[in-house]
Structure 1
Amino acid sequence: MAWTGGRLLARGWGRRVGVAAVIAVAFGGAAHLPGVVPTTPLPEADAAAAAPAAATTATIVIKLGGIVSGYSPSSVTLEQGGVLTVVNKDSMVHTVTSVAVDSEGDPLFDVSVGPRQTNTLVIPATLAAGKYSFYCTLHPNMRGTLVVTGEGGGVPAPPTFEQALRIPKVLTGRHITIPMKRAQVRVMPTGPKTWMWTYGGSFPGPTIKRPTGSLTTVTFVNDLPAKAGAMTVHQHGGHQSSADDGQPATYLIGHGARRTYTYPLRERGRPEPAAFRFYHDHRMDRTAENNWRGLQGMFLVTDEREKRLGLPHGAYDVPLHLTDRSFTADNQLTDPFPGGGMHAWMTGPQAPPNDATVGKRILVNGQFAPYLEVKPGQYRLRLLNASTFSAYDLTLSDGRPLTQIGTGTALLPRSVERDDVLLGPAQRADVVVDFSGLEGQDVILSTVPRTDTTEGTGSRSAAIMQFRVRGSARQHARVPDRLRAVPAIDVPQKVDKVWTFGLTKDSHGSFWSIDGRMFDPDRVDYRVRRGTTQLWRLRNTTTMTHYVHLHEEQWHTVSRNGKRPPPWERGLEDTWRLDPGEYVDVAATFTDHPGRFMVHCHMLDHEDHGMMAQFEVVG
């Protein structure tokens, strides 16, 4: 441990949620974060009223099934310098993490406790008296309150947004070449740049932007260090041949080699719907690590017909790549992935279900806490959650709505006005925000704890980026109520296939499973005849939320838990949230391309640790 600028910091690799008995305490100024539950400093009289008797020690117990039961008690009181003991009786790792952060984005306090272990946290004597909301970073639906009593202490400071948002380079050519290489990237506003594995030398990589129906080839060249090994690239949400889909164990790009992927951007001979996709590494057993190191980029498929709808375009159309990472003191990525070779992850403190990679800092287009100067008009924000595990429930600090017009896979049939938009890993939302009438004001995009469930995995709490409304706008954009009708499909009356997402144990340890089995690239789990339409059920039998991705086809959400899906799930989709006990019925017609394609959880540690299967289109 080391004292740095009045804060106690942990040296070394940083924290991977799932590592037991790690304490990281950060203090030196809480943050009033618009859109999240802030720290509330109390006047001395109020603090005394909140805690009649000063306490030097307090204990929080997390019982078996803590995801549901939460913290016990959910509110504790301690004086400055007191000791908080956290007893975890559960089979999962949990944390007690401050919602409020300092100006660098670090939580004011943060303790991780492994399964059936105990850990302690010393409340800094310099922490101001007040109420501090806390949550579990792994299961953010678990929430509580710490009341700190005493005199003096630091005054909470607001967060700063020091970097102008970086818009990735856009590539529009019919034939594109992108080198994969190690490069330095400006992530933090000050200090050294960060070494990352990149597409084209940037993080995220260049945005590929192509008109629908136009044959596109992208050649990826593996110029990464030799130790990186072979790579593969998946165009997430695309409809392409099996060989061009980013297979996890075949058609790999070796060190120093190159491979060309062909994307027709057509389905049944017709142009695909316009979409907001992304491309990323999909290497078996290494997807989480390779994505963490930087191998991600955005992919826009455009349609001239959209212009007739009058949606914001040009400079008013902004793609936002959201993800999280942890860094060392010199701004380098931590290495939270256990070694040990094939299946070594099946035992020990990071074995499933304790294998979640969560970064402390949330990035937008590869930058921590950026700002974007906008004009007082309507902006189309294309939101992508590219995180390995974290979910974000996005909202604006002044309460103005986000009008959702698409899922990322396609436009919705109707626009939907929403107060917040929940996005899990790999999910996208196409939204319009109207900044009219806000000249000279600042609006913050935050993620808040989701409140629509008491079970499963929740969402992060943080201020993400700032919009600075300046100047004037001459704009004629609009958001029509009706957008694009969903293509008709003849949905079968009966479910053809049930995919069950579970947690399984065997003699080697624990693993995430589909239908009770670990992924095997040599095994086909289900076959379907080309030209047929099928109804599939995605079912979650675990106590953790999963975000399930289906490759290849144009998927329709038929029902959620036997009921009509909410309005924002009534368009085409490729990734669905499954909370504990939930099931979602989806349907597609299998067209054009025979071969093997993937079904998997897009919480990338889960994918790497068994929760992936293959279906094969035949005929």
Structure 2
Amino acid sequence: MKENHLTEDNCVPEVNPSIPSTIPKFVDELPIPKVLNPDKRGNNYAYYEIEMKCAGHKFHRDFCKTLVYGYNGIYPGPTIETMKDQAVYAKWINNLPLKHFLPVDKSLHGAIDNPEVRTVVHLHGANVAPESDGFPEAWFTRNYEFTGSSFSKEVYEYPNNQQATTLWYHDHSLGITRLNVYAGLAGFYIIHDFNELSLGLPKDEYDIPLIIQDKTFNSDGSLFYPSNTTPPNKYVNPSVVRAFIGATMVVNGKVWPYFKVEPRKYRFRILNASNTNGYVLKLSNGQSFYQIGTDGGLLGEPVKLESFPLDPAERIDVIIDFSKLKHGDTVILNTEETDFKVDVMQFKVELPLKYKDRSVIPKKLRPMEKLDKDMAKRIRRLTLSQSLDHYGRNMLMLNNKMFSDPATEMPEYDSIEIWEIANPLVNPPNVSHPIHLHLVQFQILNRQPFDVNTFNEKKFIEYGTGIDYTGAPVDPDPSERGWKDVVRVEPGKVTRIIAHFKNYTGDYIWHCHILEHEDHDMMRPLRVIKKYCD
């Protein structure tokens, strides 16, 4: 496969990848991302060198190979596993071409006068120093020939001083995050600790990471991504789009795969790594999931769920018990979608039980520290907003400010804050916005509906007035009652979270994790500052 060549030479797909109805479902076995071995290991640390490069990837049995960007040339990227408090050092190496194979909108911040292909890696959900966080302006090109204004080091340090959890790493380059993640730059990062290992949860081959993305293909099997808005913008082409919804479901790099299981319990770490699309997931036979964790790690105790929402960048840790099913039974992981995307993947009960299933669903998982609203030093009020940019395009923002505006969210080190985030955007597309804070894990307090017609954004931000609530606060969903780093901010509601800003000071960001929104311009700096005397 040549650099930026879209498909294999002389290969003709056996189906039309651009028409989902022609693609057979459940004919490819689910691949499990390989765990990466460190290049060097020492006392309480591991060192990795990870190369970003072009690769040919087989999305489906009947497709030709498709060009992707991959960490170590693999999509999804290899899984990094570590123990709590064992440091990981990672040198991320950009060996990508100089020209992107997806449409770059050069009118966006970061893309206007910078090289077309840039990368910077964000370990999503990690508590790390700002130099290792993957700040959008810390990008670099091949051989570090060009670097962004915030670039400071080639080797990132992840101390992993947080509880066992499922994180993920992905690209975060200013103005092209949506393209780089869609092209394949995403992978799992799993932290274990001794409490988790002592619980008797399903482990090893029964502990399965699932990265879900939606993608659309051209007829030759290459990745399709829209090059312009609908209707087209006459001033900018290619132009960023407001949303991207793919036509097929891809799990661990395969279109509608199947997974053979034994009649026993399995643990699934599910990540929504889609650009825009949120899902409500359930099982076709109506059986329950047993949730044991959220973005930030284990819950205090398991939660039994019939279904659950999962917005972009959210993770959920669940156990599915197949022991009551018969040999030959199948179960489909579904979404509340229409047409061909109602199916995500299939489980086939085909494998014999290797040995008695001694794994358990514990009644207690770990002590759950609760942040009480009385602990908060400050209540910070924020809004989702929209405007028109210089080219007449709808632009979504936070507090009516762009990413390039000076930081206004500057919590003090070791302080606890409540953030009240109002979403008055109820006109089409009338969607929830998954808001992600870097550095911290937080807890969701509640959501409260308000009258968007009488809402006064300025008064709300400055004084907490100018808002007419139309109902009482509602507790978070059962699936959200743990540590989170992404919160679903629903239209017509104020969403309240509480966070403890600790361990580091410096420059971070908070943003919508719909990647099209993040790139244009729903992202703001977040600066944790030194604590001053009262």
Give the TM-score of the pair, scaled to structure 1. 0.69
Q: 1:300 aligns with which of 190, 206, 217?
A: 190
1:191 corresponds, among 31, 55, 63, to 63
Runs of 4+ in 1 over 6 A off after TM superposition: 4-7, 344-352
Task: Report what 1:322 is aligned to.
Answer: 212
Which residue of 2 is the match for residue 144 of structure 1? Answer: none
The answer to whether structure 1 residue 529 and structure 2 residue 412 are counterparts is: yes
Give yes or no for the alignment of 1:518 onto 2:402. Answer: yes
**Residues 25, 255 of structure 2: 8 Å contact kept:** no
Structure 1 residue 486 corresponds to structure 2 residue 486: no
One-letter identity of the residue aligned with 2:415: T
Query: Which of 256, 259, 262 is equivalent to 2:157?
Result: 262
The correspondence of residues 370-519 of structure 1 with structure 2, limited to 5 A, is: 370-449=257-336, 461-470=341-350, 471-472=352-353, 473-492=355-374, 496-505=379-388, 508-509=391-392, 510-519=394-403
Give the conservation status (yes or no) of the 8 Å contact 2:21–2:340. no
Identify the residue that residue 437 of structure 2 maps to in structure 1. Answer: 550
Does the 8 A contact of 2:395 with 2:521 survive in 1?
yes
Aligned equivalents of 1:348 and 1:253: distance in 2?
Answer: 25
Cα distance in 1, alignment partners of residues 237 and 69 from structure 2: 28
Q: Highest Rg: 1 or 2?
A: 1
SS at match of 2:21: coil
Structure 1: distance between partners of 2:209 and 2:306: 20
Describe the shift of the 1:207–1:391 C-alpha distance in structure 2 as closer, same or farther (beyond 3 A). same
Match of 2:463 in 1: none
Report if the CA contact (8 A) 2:132-2:157 is conserved.
yes
Aligned partner letter, 1:503:
Q
List per-residue Cα deviations over 1:482-509 (Å, max 9, x = no partner): 2122224353468621221122235542
Partner of 2:128 in structure 1?
240
CA separation in 2, counterparts of 1:172 and 1:418? Answer: 35
RMSD across aligned positions (CA): 2.7
User: 1:10-29 counterparts in 2 under 5 A?
Assistant: none
8 Å CA contact 2:336, 2:342 repeated in 1: no
Alignment partner of 1:528: what SS?
A: coil
The reply to whether residue 369 of structure 1 matches residue 259 of structure 2 is no
- Any conservation in 1 of the 2:228–2:237 contact (CA below 8 Å)? no
Looking at structure 1, the residues matched to 492 and 135 of structure 2 have their Cα atoms a distance apart, in angstroms, of: 30
Aligned 8 A contact 2:92 2:154 in 1: yes
**Residue identity in the other structure for 1:182:** C
Tell me the CA shift for residue 539 of structure 1. Answer: 1.9
Q: What is the 5 A alignment of 1:33-48? A: none
Displacement of 1:445: 3.0
Match of 1:282 among 172, 175, 194: 172
Q: What's 2:107 paired with?
A: none
Q: In 1, are the aligned partners of 2:263 and 2:326 still within 8 Å (CA)? A: yes
In 2: Cα distance, 1:324 partner to 1:306 partner? 31
Match of 1:483, as an amino acid?
L
- Structure-2 residue corresponding to 1:156: none
Instruction: Measure, in 2, the Cα distance between the counterparts of 1:6 and 1:504.
Output: 45
1:73-107 deviation per Cα after TM superposition (whole angstroms, max 9, x unaligned): xxxxxxxxxxxxxxxxxxxxxxxxxxxx6351xxx
Q: Are residues 234 and 383 of structure 1, via their aligned partners in 2, closer, same or farther at CA, if it must alter by over 3 Å? A: same
1:53 match = none
Match of 1:230 among 118, 140, 164: 118
Name the CA distance, whole Å, in 2 between partners of 1:568 and 1:530: 29
- Rounded to whole Å, the distance in 1 between the matches of 2:432 and 2:238 is 18
Q: Which has the larger share of strand? A: 1
CA drift at 1:349: 11
Q: Output the CA distance in 2 between the equivalents of 1:162 and 1:376.
A: 21
| Match of residue 43 from structure 2 | none
- Mapping of residues 71-82 of structure 1, within 5 Å: none
**Counterpart for residue 539 of structure 1:** 422
Change (3 A) 1:511 1:426: same
> In structure 2, what is the Cα distance between the partners aligned to 1:346 and 1:300?
45
Q: Secondary structure of the residue that 2:518 maps to in structure 1?
A: helix
Structure 2 counterpart of 1:594: 505
Q: Deviations over 1:194-213 (max 9, x none)?
A: 11011011110000111111
Give the one of 203, 212, 215 matched to 2:75: 203
Q: Against the structure 1 CA distance between its residues 316 and 478, is the aligned structure 2 distance closer, same or farther, given a 3 Å change threshold?
A: same
Deviation readout 1:259-308 (Å, 9 max, x if unpaired) = 21110111xxxxx1111111000011101011111111111011121122
Deviation at 1:581, TM superposition (A): 1.0
How far did 1:440 drift?
Answer: 1.7
For residues 519 and 118 of structure 2, the distance between their equivalents in structure 1, rounded to whole angstroms, comes to 16
Give how far 1:478 is off: 0.9
**Which residue of 2 is the match for residue 176 of structure 1?**
48
Q: Which of 469, 489, 496 is matched with 1:585 structurally?
A: 496
Q: Give the counterpart letter for 1:208 in structure 2.
A: I
Label 1:348 to 1:223 Cα distance change in 2 as closer, same or farther (>3 A).
closer
Equivalent residue pairs, number: 454
Which position in structure 1 is the counterpart of 2:31? 166
Are 1:557 and 1:585, in contact at CA under 8 Å, matched by a contact in 2?
A: yes
CA distance in 2 between counterparts of 1:460 and 1:483 reads: 37
Contact between 2:13 and 2:221, CA under 8 Å: does it hold in 1? no
Superposition pairs of residues 122-161 of structure 1, within 5 angstroms: 160-161=25-26
Aligned residue among 453, 456, 477 for 1:566: 477
CA separation in 1, counterparts of 2:386 and 2:529?
Answer: 30
* Matched residue type, 2:189: F
Q: Identity rate of aligned residues, in percent?
A: 32
Structure-1 separation of matches of 2:294 and 2:171: 22
Counterpart Cα distance in 1 of 2:233 and 2:510: 21
